[in-house]
Amino acid sequence: MDHRRKQYASETRLNISRMKIVQSRDEESLKNLRNLNLNLELLQKKQTDLKDAIEKRKENIFVLEQREKDFLSGKLDQEISKELKKNTCEANIRFESSKKKDLNKQEKKFNQFDYGYNAEERNRQKDYIYYYRLYCKANETLPEYMRENLADMPNNKGYIWRDCWFFGEKAQEHGQPTIMFEKKKGSVMHIHEIDNYEHKIFEKIGKEKKKLISSSIQRNTKKN
């Protein structure tokens, strides 16, 4: 959540900076109005409009500066969570719409009587549709805390959820193994550590230390 607080505070600070730039321009325009040789009625109207805009913007800047502090202090965590859930929901709706179009397109192509594919290609296309459906179902139910954590994880770390692998959004840590966390029933967690040579699986129960439960050689490992 600390990452999200800083993100929202930074966005608020950016809005404040933009408003202060406009504020400076309006204040400068107000000073220079008398040099424009306007008639008295138009001059007074423009002065009033600018003063009202400056005063209203000053209030908005004050409110935003307080919100920036509240974001950083954690007072607005509930608001952040609500907005994240709303954004996730909207993203899922867009994703579902795109997914359905893609699946319909793939299934229509697959169900055509003669589209020039050999048996191997047809099976590969069928597998694609099947596993894509599994991924979409897993993505729909991915816990929110996992989705938030993935935003802060490097690309060689992530979660295994409903047999699908979800990787971190940040740059990969070069030279480091792939580490995947897989939640099992109760308080059991399986931790997969995979490098070019070996795939190890550790089991961690609650706060106990993790213990190795499985180790296998990677198939692409070359022996000298």
Could you list the pLDDT tens digit for every one of the 224 residues in the chain? 677 788 888 989 999 999 999 999 999 999 988 888 888 888 899 999 999 999 999 999 999 999 999 888 888 888 877 777 766 666 665 666 666 666 666 666 555 544 555 667 667 777 777 777 788 888 888 888 898 889 889 999 999 999 899 999 889 898 899 999 999 988 999 999 999 889 999 999 998 999 999 999 876 544 44
Range of the domain at 87: 81-141
**Residue 176 placed within a domain:** yes
**pLDDT confidence of residue 97:** 62
**Residue 64 placed within a domain:** yes
Q: How many domains does the chain have?
A: 3
The Cβ of residue 71 has, within 10 Å, a number of other Cβ atoms equal to 23
Sign of CA dihedral 38, 41, 47, 53: negative
In terms of DSSP bridges, do strands 178-183 and 157-161 run parallel, antiparallel, or are they unpaired?
Answer: parallel
- How far is Cα 85 from Cα 91, in angstroms, rounded to an integer? 10
**pLDDT confidence of residue 8:** 85
**Residue 224 placed within a domain:** no
**Residue 107 placed within a domain:** yes
